[in-house]
Structure 1
Amino acid sequence: MKITENIEGFIKAQNEADSTAFANYFTEHATVSDEGSSYSGREEIKGWIEEATEKYNMHTKVIDFTQTGSKGTLTVEASGTFPGSPLVMNYHLEMDGTLISSLRITG
């Protein structure tokens, strides 16, 4: 499994609870879909990850990553203070160059 540098940085920022660095891995008008809610733009994404980090104290460990063209799937084991922890989650990514334009989390 080969993980691209930008995805490694994205996971590192999430695990270090660095919401500003995390949001900077997204395009200016990116979207995130998680737990039935959607967030648009870096500021909303930053707010979402700050709230999720505070609520769940989540840490992710990469299990698998595949990318074909601009689409990728990142499979992680997520642990934290949420029911069923740890859980395997899939991050469905759409990329615009090295930045994420869309993230949909399932699992």
Structure 2
Amino acid sequence: MHDNQPPTSTPNTLPEEITRYLTAHRAHDTATAITAFTRDATVIDDGNTYEGIEVIRGWLDRSATEFTYTIHLTGAQQTDATRYIATHHLEGNFPGGTIDLRYRFTLRDGLIERLVIEP
């Protein structure tokens, strides 16, 4: 049997820095979540761009307290040597109540250099 499918990751095969961020973010542990990012990292979330580690720290703190929600990893895929997509299903008290979001990660030197969160 020959498998010609593109390589996909399962949630437990995502790189350590991504799982560290996702686990810490889910636990509202900003101190640990921030250690997964490069100092000059960029995060794009909900149309807003956050650049640099201190600005990202503020974004993490706000996103941990703004809404109450559950988040479940529903899929993961490696798209090239440094890029991964983790798909999440969120349910909570934010507008709309449920959403599926793609977290697109770009890695550099064992850390997250760029994270884009979008439907």
- 1:5 is displaced (CA, Å) by 2.4
Structure 2 counterpart of 1:99, from 108, 111, 117? 111
Structure 2 counterpart of 1:60, from 57, 64, 71? 71
Partner SS, residue 103 of structure 1 = strand
More deviation, 63-72/78-87: 78-87
Structure 1 counterpart of 2:100, from 88, 97, 104? 88
Structure 1: gaps (5+ residues): none
Q: Aligned partner of 2:102: which letter? A: N
Structure 2: gaps (5+ residues): 1-9
State whether residues 71 and 93 of structure 1, in contact with CA within 8 Å, keep that contact through their aligned partners in structure 2.
yes
- TM-score in terms of structure 2 length: 0.82
- TM-score in terms of structure 1 length: 0.90
Q: Aligned partner of 2:27: which letter? A: E
- 1:79 is displaced (CA, Å) by 2.5
Q: In the alignment, what sits opposite 1:47?
A: 58
Structure 2 CA distance for aligned equivalents of residues 50 and 58 of structure 1: 15
CA pair 26-58 structure 1, distance change in 2 beyond 3 A:
farther
CA pair 40-58 structure 1, distance change in 2 beyond 3 A:
farther
Q: Which structure has the bigger radius of gyration?
A: 2
State whether residues 24 and 42 of structure 1, in contact with CA within 8 Å, keep that contact through their aligned partners in structure 2.
no
- 1:46 is displaced (CA, Å) by 0.9
Matched, 1:36 2:40: no
User: RMSD across aligned C-alpha pairs, in angstroms?
Assistant: 1.3
Identity, in percent, stands at 26
Give a deviation string over 1:39-83, Cα, whole Å, max 9, x none: 111111110011111111243211111122011111111223202
Matched, 1:27 2:56: no
